[in-house]
Structure 1
Amino acid sequence: MTEEIPLIPFTGVPFCRSEYERRHQKVFAAMERANLDALLVTAHGHLRYLTGYHGYGGYFAPFPLILAPGRTPTFVVREFEVEAVRAESCIDDIVGYTQQYDFAKECAGVLRRFGLQQDRVGFELGCWNLAPADLHALQAQLPDMRVADASRLVASVAAVKSESELEVMRDVMALTDLAVRVFHNSLREGVTEAEVSAIIEAEVNRAGGEMRPARTLVFGERTRLAHGSPGPNPIRNNQPAMTEMGAWKYGYAVGLVRSAVLGRHAEAESLHALAVDALEATIDAIKPGATAGEVDAAGRKVIERLGRGRVFRHRAGYQTGINWTERGNLSLEPGAGDLLETGMTLHMPYILFGDTGCLFGTSEHVLVTDRGAEVLSGTPHTLHRV
């Protein structure tokens, strides 16, 4: 008598299956425009967008999602992770491999089964989670396969959010706003970065939310550290404090930069005032049909007109969604030709460099609408004074 194996309780995916099917169809349409016969998606954020699976098991080797018109979407994953992928994704066709060196053979087997061994296949060459050795091993299995760079294909689809996604992101922004209010209210002489961070996390958890694990929270001289993690450093009178943080849900992170001064700090106050002016000019430039480069230029001109171009040493912002951001996503940077569309979400962190190395500024997270930019945050981007 065969023993019956009990089913694992279904973990589920964040959105309904029809939402994922809608995303797949938009990717297929983008593939057709790019003249691709198939696409291998390997970036973790893009995989989560298209399947619901968080991708944590893919640190060891690629977990490609193979998409080809007329074929069932197929996930090639480690056998160790098969049940987790089945429970936490919308993909039914899952192929497992045991060791890292088996990846290319199993992946090539799927492409042969689909009759794609001589076709034009897109790869996310400019994203994380696909090493050159992985591609070389696959090409050795399929020497006639034609490789195309499709690094930005899924990103271009994911840039425009559905109503379901926007509902999640608005909920997350409410939690990020809570975190900002706690940050402001916790500042007092002698409190440490780590203590404030712990208070923030506790309050957001109490509200039913979750903070993104990696966050910037620095006081005083440590504002020189880009992406500085909170430590046992206390804030003193007449010192600045800055944070870049965000809550998240289903992988969607909605971040903000907010700053404060305990007492007075002339350099930080000057930088912040300039950051506000540049940010507001950038927000005013956002509208459907504007290029990413034009939006970047709007804020950059404000800074350069004052002869302070060296204080701004990065891009004006970037597309947001799953995993905060991904390589290959739309970037608001000089000369970028990507067109903004209604439904895109963008984060614009204006963090400026002071003469002493101090990094200070503010940001907004916006939704592109038919009328321009809708600011999602409810907390002012003005400087908080204690």
Structure 2
Amino acid sequence: MDETRRAQVIENLQGMGLTQALISDPMSIYYLTGYYTEPYERFLGLYLSASGASTLFANRLFPDASAACEDIRTFDDTEDPVPMVAAVTDHGAPLGVDKKLAARWLVPLQEAGAASAFKLGSTAVDNARSVKSPEEQELMRAASRTNDKAMEWLAAQVHEGVTEQEIAGGLLDVYRSLGAQDHSFAPIVSFGANAADPHHSPDGTVLAKGDVVLFDVGCRRDMYCSDMTRSFFYGESTEHQRAVYECVRRANEAAEAIVRPGVTFAEIDRAARTIIEDAGWGQYFTHRLGHQIGLEDHEPGDVSSVHDEPVRPGQCFSIEPGIYLPGDVGVRIEDLVIVTEDGCEVLNSYPKELTVLA
């Protein structure tokens, strides 16, 4: 158990009027204990109490959890974990539960009277995870350096006759050769008009001269995620395509330029969105500017027009404006940034200048 992180979560819980919580998100459990397993349909839970008690509930099929915390309660597939959890909770106080707790466990806990009330307590952990420690920041840098190198490989795969699926299918081996363990999300490889779909899944589309080529990719290295998007053109680019590209690039750089403690997430979104709106393409920037990232590719606390909280040193999030003209062209440019004491550090060094690949 990381006692510093535990103490922060307890402080956050108390600020919400809670003295106990049940955490079921495997990544949050890893964040607090260093223990990770994917439970699938089985129960996994970490109980925290302001009194100091920490209990991990784990199926005996899971990897050894003995180092996770001081109290480990195990069960097998024929045992019901709900009575075990109810035996340690304070029935006279509300229990914070996180957003990952499935109804198949939550409802029986309610029926068992495991607490006086049940409240959504995810933000207690989410807010702690939002600010990365120096060690976490270095892991984020390492993951992004790996992603920069992978982007070099991706750009080199662009040639006549190649398909989106062929490029996407080779990326995992490249990540692993560079020291990463996995994708942080399924890679997006889009040619031509497919790039106007922000979440296009790579298919058999064959590259054609004049196509935009969009790569939105990320790796998981030592548990931490990277995420970056670059857009290129193959063979040639039209004046219209170049105008779209340069507008997105200006929006990306304008947003990064204002990131510093005290500036709100909404103001960062506005800095990028205004440039695209002023160019007449505002209705084609169809998503928020970015998302926080760390142990998961998308973490709570988005960079959007409705998030009025100021950013804090140590927070890490994406800056990814885009313009998506259906049936025509799509461009997105994305970096990750870490908020510093007086600005931000851009984690990606791969160039953003308009590039036509031969």
Q: TM-score, normalised by structure 1?
A: 0.85
User: In the TM superposition, what is the alpha-carbon distance from 1:274 to its structure 2 partner?
Assistant: 1.8
Out of 254, 272, 275, the residue aligned to residue 281 of structure 1 is: 254
- 1:160 matched to which residue of 2? 131
**1:265 Cα deviation after fit:** 4.3
Counterpart Cα distance in 2 of 1:194 and 1:225: 16
The structure-2 alpha-carbon separation of the partners of 1:92 and 1:227, relative to structure 1 and needing over 3 Å to count, comes to farther
Deviation string 1:260-314 (CA, Å, 9 cap, x unpaired) is 1102344543332221121112112211112221221221222222332211111
Q: Shift of residue 100 of structure 1? A: 8.5
Contact 1:86–1:92 at 8 Å: present in 2 too? no
Please report how far the alpha carbon of residue 364 of structure 1 lies from its aligned counterpart in structure 2 after TM superposition: 0.9
Equivalent position to 1:321, from 294, 319, 322 = 294
Q: Percent identity among equivalent residues? A: 24
SS in 2 for 1:314: coil
Contact kept, 8 Å, 2:47 with 2:54, in 1: the verdict is yes
Question: Aligned runs of 1:200-219 on 2, under 5 Å?
Answer: 200-212=171-183, 214-219=186-191
Match of 1:6 in 2: none
Q: Tell me if structure 2 keeps the 8 A contact 1:61–1:100.
A: no
CA 268–145 in structure 1, closer or farther in 2 if over 3 Å, else same? farther
Question: Structure 1 residues 134 and 159, CA, compared in 2 at 3 Å: closer, same or farther?
Answer: same
Deviations 1:183-221 (A, max 9, x none): 112211112223323444333322322341521112224
CA distance in 2 between counterparts of 1:383 and 1:363 reads 14
Deviations 1:210-256 (A, max 9, x none): 34152111222432443334344321111111111112123211110
Paired residues of 1:352 and 1:360 also in contact (CA < 8 A): yes
Provide the C-alpha distance between the structure 2 equivalents of 1:94 and 1:264, rounded to a whole number of angstroms.
61
Q: Following the alignment from structure 1 to structure 2, what is the Cα–Cα distance between the partners of residues 351 and 43? A: 31
- Residue matched to 2:335: 364
Q: How many residues align?
A: 355
Please list, as runs of the form range in 1=range in 2, the aligned pairs for 1:18-97 lying within 5 A after superposition.
20-56=2-38, 58-81=39-62, 84-86=63-65, 90-97=68-75
Alpha-carbon distance change, 226 to 44 in structure 1, aligned in 2, over 3 angstroms: farther
Who is 2:284 aligned against?
311
CA contact (8 A) 2:23 2:101 kept: no
Change over 3 Å in CA distance of 1:359–1:74 after alignment to 2: farther
Gap regions ≥5 residues in structure 1: 1-16
Residues 371 and 143 of structure 1: CA distance in aligned 2, closer, same or farther (over 3 Å)? closer
The SS at the match of 2:348 is coil
Distance apart, 1:383 and its partner CA: 3.1
Structure 2: tracts of 5 or more residues without a match: none
Instruction: String of CA shifts for 1:48-88, please: whole Å, max 9, x gaps.
Output: 222223331x220442211112333211222322xx1516x
Deviation at 1:101, TM superposition (A): 7.9
When normalised by structure 2's length, the TM-score is 0.91
